[in-house]
Structures are given as C-alpha cells and as structure tokens.
Amino acid sequence: MEKEKIHPIQKFMDNIWLLLALGLAIPILSYTMWGIIELMNIPQGTLP
C-alpha cells in the first residue's frame, strides 16, 4: 500500500495551533507597527 503524499499547504492548514498563533501574531504586530508609525508622525507639542 502506498502512503498518500500530503501537500505542504495542507499540512500547514491542518495545524490548528500554528493557525491560532499566526491569527494572533499578525494583527498584534501590524497594529503595533501602525501605532508606532502614527506616534512618530505626530508633531511635537509646544509648552505654554
């Protein structure tokens, strides 16, 4: 009996923990970078 070859993308999609980690990491990293860029673009406030 031949063992059926599983495509690498299918192995990736079957790993629920990896998908969970990526589903959390990608938004956290992207919004963090977006926030840092926004903070760097805010003009410096002047004191009275």
For the record, the structure tokens of 7 come out as 């495509």
Q: How far is CA 14 from the centre of its chain?
A: 18
- Model pLDDT, residue 37: 97
Higher-confidence position of 47 and 42: 42
pTM of the entire structure? 0.67
- Model pLDDT, residue 3: 82
- What does DSSP assign to residue 40? H
pLDDT tens track for 1-28: 668 899 989 998 999 999 999 999 999 9
pLDDT tens track for 35-46: 999 999 999 989
Q: How far is CA 19 from the centre of its chain?
A: 10
User: Rounded to an integer, what distance in angstroms lies between the CA atom of residue 16 and that of residue 19?
Assistant: 5
